[in-house]
Structure 1
Amino acid sequence: MNPVLAGGIVLDPQLPLAMIAALAVAALLLMALAFWRGLPGWWLRGLAAVVALAALANPSLQEEDRAPLSDIVIAVVDRTASQGIGGREAQTEAALARLRAEVAAMPGTELREVTVRAAPGDGGSRVMTALAEALAEEPRARVAGAVIVSDGQVHDTDLAPQMPAPLHLLLTGRQADWDRRLIVRNAPAFAILGEEVSLTLRIEDDGAVPETLRGEAQLSIAVDGGEPRWYSVPVGEDLELPVTLPHGGQNILQFEVQASEGELTTRNNSSVTAINGVRDRLRVLLVSGEPHAGERVWRNLLKSDPSVDLVHFTILRPPEKQDGIPVDELSLIAFPTRELFVEKIDEFDLIIFDRYRLRGILPLQYLENVRDYVTRGGTVLVAAGPEFGTVDSLWRSPLADILPVTTTSRVLEGGFRPKITPLGHRHPVTQGLEAGAPESGWGRWFRQIEIAARGAGQVVMEGAEGKPLLVLAREGQGRIAVLASDQAWLWGRGYEGGGPQLELLRRLAHWMLKEPELEEETLSAHAGGAGRLVITRRTLAEVPPGPVTLTLPDGTETEIVLPEVVPGHYEAEIDAPQVGLYRLKQGELQTVVALGPPAPKEFERTIAAPDVLEPVLAQSGGGVLRLEDGAFDLRQVAPGRVAAGRGWLGITPRGAYLTQDVRVAALLPGWAWLLLASILILAAWLREGRLPARR
């Protein structure tokens, strides 16, 4: 642009302005007195005072060489996920091309483009944040207007900046669009196993929904990626869904509404909810065959855990030790053996037999019930002592049908340190237990029953002479474990440094209760940090498993090779850029994991509408144009005038400039002011009588 010459008068007072103002008031009073007395030269005296006061104000002529600056129009282009549906991307490109052409046709006007991408996490469309940042980078005196190209679904209107010029919206989308979405409310992060929790589902229609599709929709429900079940449900009503979690750990509930013809998008037709199943309390039945040093340790260990409800059945006086003490003095009430072993046996999560032998106190029918309890899904831990090799051993009871060991009746005496077997290093119950052991190893035990594993028994710990010490097995739907020593209490009392008795028991209990994190053969995944997915594979096999087939939310499949972290534990962390349900499969194992929010903000409302932005636009005098209505024009309007109309948007030229040079010159030299004041005073003197008066 060509430089512009501009000028004006500026004052550089010789005295303080307050003193000049006081002199002006005094002069005004004297002029009023002269006029009142009828002096004929009063007005000449007044002009002389004005000239004197002007000389004191010292007026100067200032000239500036100004370089005009161009006006700036800011274009905020929304390119978040919701702008990629229904042809909106093409509308956005066409609108942006038109806007560039209109601004280019205006002399002295520039266009600044700002692109809005998806905010980290689930921040939605942060259009106002982008606009505020763009305004901060430009001189506000040059901003002639701003245009937002978006579907109007903005999630940060509370951060809208104060606009120095009109703000407009070019609205994408079409008035004929319609969409159906699924909403899941009241989804808890945790739920107690066996207790019912309630979820609220709602299916809503937005936009111009065809009459033929109103009324009902088809909804599917799937658990942990299993086969979905379909239901016909009403649209626009809250649906209460009672849910009882099938297992502990993470439970993935997937809800999906069947897509309909003409629907704007199906991205909001599904929702994935992850609920962690936790146990309220662990109910344990401890059956002690006889008092011994380890009995108190077992009891204290279980009673110290507030999440454990313990029922302890102990035999204080075996039948062969009759000492004449009446039975009613040994206990206040009869122990409810029938209630425990017949009526309520299925209510226990774990049954522990601690050095129990057959003495006829518990009928064999009760032990048969325990056997059946295991096959139905129960769990039993046998802590064996020397009695395990005798004729009255549990190994010779109905429990022998499910015990994973046989015994030689030999008792191994002498100190030994329990060790984890190669299989135990891969088994989740004992994996990593030795990490916290002292350099000399765990504390010693001094007695072990010689046993041999049979069937599907898994030897995870060994003791004296390398014989099996801890054997685990699955039986029917339940699980059973045998500890071939009654001296685990030495660890609990810290003998020679002790050992991980508490952690071992905790893992045993969780493995028996089928907690997913302690399963031997598992494929699992969870969300890592910053859009990452962590895939974990546990296996007892010595041969590394094959690659994992990963199916992304958009249906894309890829194969992931998992490196071995520790024996039996394979893990990999990968990028997971998409939000939704990921499916993993390796052989017969498969699982699902949900990343991101159940319903992203970008797809909570997908119908293009100006409602959210209209209050912000109104404050700046801007307007809304629908892109589907056709091309638009950009016009220049004066500040305060209407800035939008049918088919056009207005910007206000700011007239900003850059001062290149300033020249200042006195309006009159000092002698000229003095000469002019003198002439006026002389004229007044002559007018008032020094010259002959006219007749």
Structure 2
Amino acid sequence: MTGTVIFDPLIPWPVLAIVAAIAVFGIILALWRGLSGWALRGLAALVVIAALSGPVYQIEDRAPLTDIVLMIEDESASQTLSDRADQTAQAAEELAAEIESRENTELRRIRVGDSDGDEGTQVMAALNEALAEEPRARVAGVLVVSDGIVHDADQAPDLPAPMHLLQTGRDTDWDRRLIVRNAPAFAIIGEPVTLTLRVEDSGASPAGATTAPLEISVDGGAPEQFNIPIGVDVELPITLPHGGRNVIQFTVPEAEGELTERNNTALIQMNGVRDRLRVLLVSGEPHPGGRTWRNLLKSDSSVDLVHFTILRPPEKQDGVPVDELSLIAFPTRELFLEKINDFDLIIFDRYKRRGILPAIYLDNVTNYINEGGAVLIAAGPDFATADSIFRSPLAPILPAQPTARVIEERYVPMVTELGERHPVTSNLGNPDEWGAWLRQIDVKHRSGELLMTGLDDRPLLVLDRVGEGRVAMLASDHAWLWSRGFEGGGPQLELLRRLAHWMMKEPELEEEALWAEANGQSMRIIRQTLNDEVGPVTVTRPNGDTLEITLEEISPGRFEAQYFGPEIGLYRLQEGEHSAVIGLGPAAPKEFERTIATGEILEPALAQMRGGVIRLEEGLPSIRNVRAGRPAAGRGWIGLTPRSAYETRDVTQAGLLPPWLVLLLAGGFLLAGWLREGRR
């Protein structure tokens, strides 16, 4: 029970102040005029003013509240190193027992694990959440049992009580870490890109170690080993072997006695891109479709196009002197003998034999294809004649043979069942909305994959692989009708773009492929195939364990499955003859960027709250009570600040100046003053 006097004025305080000022002025005036009752008048005014201030005697029935101690137990990944988890568990239990045995004290235990998204140990976030649920007036202290590796120390709250770090770890701890300082997301195929690596030793590292072995593996292949100096930035040139995703793994073998090998490996995923895709477009004669090919290829900034259109064949005899023509000679020798291997794709657009390209040049084109080149035949009416390019050394590698018939009828191109599964022609839209073409070259399908048909299911688009290269044939020169919007048009731009990029071996257009897309610790496994079924995918985890995952068909030719990887590292995928690798998790997990226990990170926040750092290796500290604002840590002890908080159960109020008493006192003083002044 406590009693206090409080004031509850009957009128606002400013008005009461004015009334008091008027009363004082009246008393001064009475004194100046020599009235003998001025003191009694003043007492009467004082009684009235006191009554207007509403004095009340308040009695509170209070119950003391317990002090609250918050204990944060760090259970993040870095706390699993060495015996830190045991240190934490033992210290937490002993501290909990001691705090709970203290009079008028409660304990709140908060466990902090790894945060989502590789954000590290978020101790202060957990502390702020706990403080939001507790009245700060009751918090007597905060104990953090951790290795001190906290990644949100700058978010420390303003506490009314001390905070202490009970630090795990050992003085003898040491660790070796691999750092990749720069890793671009893209690199040009065949050109070296420089990565900066560094191997660092921290803690009580062994004396005399100056170099460390480094293993480099690309796409899960056999590693190559080098020795690099410790504590020095090393520039390492890397050349990507292929387009698409390249997974490069750098590993420093675990040294004896170091804390962990989790930070000895770095996974870098880089996309290989071509510097410039060089395309040679040879148009046999001017026609509307030629501009379509040119516009398509020129619209792609990654394509370097060389386009020749034959405007004046050698057999033309019109009497015009050659030196008066504004045309240039077709550099056949330079293009088809000397520099043919500089091109990624050669397109023959309505080309026919006119004696411009000798047989030896076309024979060289065949060799170019077998060695990895690509040729696209966009056939026109001349393909069905005796001057057809089919009647040349290119015939053995062409996937279709002309029948010498040109069909001039309306038809709508259709995608075959196989084409529905092929990346070049799948998901092109609704064929019912496509416009018609008006010409088709009748050909017989000889080899390769038939993806589109025309009139009466005749072959229209055929793709084939020859040797190391690729060949495609489009048996019509009317694709340009779609670009002009004839009868509503069609997906001409997308079809020709995919066709050109498939021929240039872009990975995303491979018809038989296995790959995975990572999202944090999850991956989406994707299998593209022309078959109706695929087998299960065997996943090999970083620790060597394997499991099989069944894929589901989500669209024709595309099978997928989701998988959550429990570990950070390199995963290998295998399905039949197809394989892939993918890295899950960050290249360098934040939890293992620093592994040596330290109090330096939290020292600024602890100093502000007059707390301290106690190493558990030296023993558990004793707990004392300290007053607010006093140092709360010393050698072998830590302090808590008792808060003396209470809960008010009941409040009773009694007026000190009831109306009858005010009337009696004020009237008495006024009457006495009047009588005194009347006798004078």
Q: TM-score, normalised by structure 2?
A: 0.89
In the alignment, the residues of structure 2 paired with residue 219 and residue 422 of structure 1 have an alpha-carbon distance, to the nearest angstrom, of 50
Name the structure 2 match of 1:443: 436
Counterpart code for 2:369: V
In the alignment, the residues of structure 2 paired with residue 250 and residue 161 of structure 1 have an alpha-carbon distance, to the nearest angstrom, of 44
Secondary structure at 2:560 match in 1: strand
Matching of residue 201 in structure 1 with residue 200 in structure 2: no
Which among 413, 418, 429 is matched to residue 413 of structure 2?
418
Which among 244, 250, 257 is matched to residue 245 of structure 2?
250
Q: 1:587 to 1:14 in 2, by over 3 A?
A: closer
Q: 1:52 to 1:478 in 2, by over 3 A?
A: closer
Residues 171-194 of structure 1 show CA distances to partners (whole Å, capped at 9, x for unaligned) of 122221111111112212223334
Deviates more, 1:220-229 or 1:294-303: 294-303
Contact 1:453 1:459 in 2 (8 A): no
Deviates more, 1:392-401 or 1:163-172: 392-401
Name the structure 2 match of 1:693: none
In the alignment, the residues of structure 2 paired with residue 539 and residue 405 of structure 1 have an alpha-carbon distance, to the nearest angstrom, of 23
In the alignment, the residues of structure 1 paired with residue 74 and residue 482 of structure 2 have an alpha-carbon distance, to the nearest angstrom, of 64
Secondary structure at 1:254 match in 2: strand
Name the structure 2 match of 1:36: none
Q: 1:662 to 1:296 in 2, by over 3 A?
A: closer
Matching of residue 527 in structure 1 with residue 523 in structure 2: no
Name the structure 2 match of 1:273: 268
Q: How far did residue 62 of structure 1 move?
A: 3.7
Which among 548, 567, 578 is matched to residue 559 of structure 1?
548
Which among 131, 134, 144 is matched to residue 135 of structure 1?
131
Name the structure 1 match of 2:624: 635
Q: 1:624 to 1:545 in 2, by over 3 A?
A: same
In the alignment, the residues of structure 2 paired with residue 141 and residue 23 of structure 1 have an alpha-carbon distance, to the nearest angstrom, of 44
Which among 555, 564, 574 is matched to residue 575 of structure 1?
564
1:501-650 to 2 correspondence within 5 Å? 501-528=492-519, 531-542=521-532, 544-650=533-639
1:393-408 to 2 correspondence within 5 Å? 393-408=388-403
Q: How far did residue 10 of structure 1 move?
A: 4.2
Name the structure 2 match of 1:115: 111
Secondary structure at 2:574 match in 1: strand
1:353-502 to 2 correspondence within 5 Å? 353-433=348-428, 435-439=429-433, 441-454=434-447, 457-502=448-493
Name the structure 2 match of 1:103: 99
In the alignment, the residues of structure 2 paired with residue 602 and residue 539 of structure 1 have an alpha-carbon distance, to the nearest angstrom, of 40
Q: 1:47 to 1:354 in 2, by over 3 A?
A: closer
Matching of residue 191 in structure 1 with residue 149 in structure 2: no
Contact 1:64 1:663 in 2 (8 A): yes
Residues 536-569 of structure 1 show CA distances to partners (whole Å, capped at 9, x for unaligned) of 1011223x11111123344442211001122221
In the alignment, the residues of structure 1 paired with residue 294 and residue 53 of structure 2 have an alpha-carbon distance, to the nearest angstrom, of 103
1:151-300 to 2 correspondence within 5 Å? 151-212=147-208, 214-300=209-295
Residues 283-305 of structure 1 show CA distances to partners (whole Å, capped at 9, x for unaligned) of 21111223344333333333344
Secondary structure at 1:583 match in 2: strand
In the alignment, the residues of structure 2 paired with residue 226 and residue 513 of structure 1 have an alpha-carbon distance, to the nearest angstrom, of 25
* Structure 2 stretches lacking a partner, 5+ long: none
In the alignment, the residues of structure 2 paired with residue 101 and residue 24 of structure 1 have an alpha-carbon distance, to the nearest angstrom, of 65
Q: 1:19 to 1:566 in 2, by over 3 A?
A: closer
In the alignment, the residues of structure 2 paired with residue 157 and residue 678 of structure 1 have an alpha-carbon distance, to the nearest angstrom, of 70
Counterpart code for 1:382: I
In the alignment, the residues of structure 1 paired with residue 291 and residue 134 of structure 2 have an alpha-carbon distance, to the nearest angstrom, of 77
Which among 78, 81, 101 is matched to residue 77 of structure 2?
81
Name the structure 2 match of 1:346: 341
Contact 1:8 1:61 in 2 (8 A): yes
Q: How far did residue 321 of structure 1 move?
A: 2.8
Secondary structure at 2:157 match in 1: coil
Name the structure 1 match of 2:143: 147
Q: 1:78 to 1:25 in 2, by over 3 A?
A: farther
Deviates more, 1:201-210 or 1:334-343: 334-343
Which among 620, 641, 656 is matched to residue 652 of structure 1?
641
Counterpart code for 1:182: L
Secondary structure at 1:416 match in 2: coil
Deviates more, 1:75-84 or 1:145-154: 75-84
Secondary structure at 1:82 match in 2: helix
* Structure 1 stretches lacking a partner, 5+ long: 34-38, 691-695
Deviates more, 1:77-86 or 1:327-336: 327-336
Q: 1:417 to 1:19 in 2, by over 3 A?
A: closer
Q: 1:583 to 1:658 in 2, by over 3 A?
A: same
Aligned length: 671
Deviates more, 1:201-210 or 1:497-506: 497-506
Q: 1:24 to 1:253 in 2, by over 3 A?
A: farther
Q: 1:356 to 1:47 in 2, by over 3 A?
A: closer
Deviates more, 1:577-586 or 1:116-125: 577-586
Contact 1:272 1:581 in 2 (8 A): yes
Contact 1:438 1:497 in 2 (8 A): no
In the alignment, the residues of structure 1 paired with residue 581 and residue 303 of structure 2 have an alpha-carbon distance, to the nearest angstrom, of 31
Alignment RMSD (CA, Å): 3.5
Contact 1:623 1:649 in 2 (8 A): yes
1:8-87 to 2 correspondence within 5 Å? 8-10=4-6, 18=17, 61-87=57-83
Deviates more, 1:70-79 or 1:51-60: 51-60
Contact 1:428 1:520 in 2 (8 A): yes
Q: How far did residue 133 of structure 1 move?
A: 1.5
Contact 1:180 1:204 in 2 (8 A): yes
Q: How far did residue 618 of structure 1 move?
A: 0.5
Deviates more, 1:656-665 or 1:618-627: 656-665
In the alignment, the residues of structure 1 paired with residue 172 and residue 53 of structure 2 have an alpha-carbon distance, to the nearest angstrom, of 71
Contact 1:448 1:464 in 2 (8 A): no
Residues 428-455 of structure 1 show CA distances to partners (whole Å, capped at 9, x for unaligned) of 211222x24334x54133231322313x
Question: Percent identical across equivalent pairs?
Answer: 60
In the alignment, the residues of structure 1 paired with residue 49 and residue 510 of structure 2 have an alpha-carbon distance, to the nearest angstrom, of 101
Q: How far did residue 656 of structure 1 move?
A: 0.4
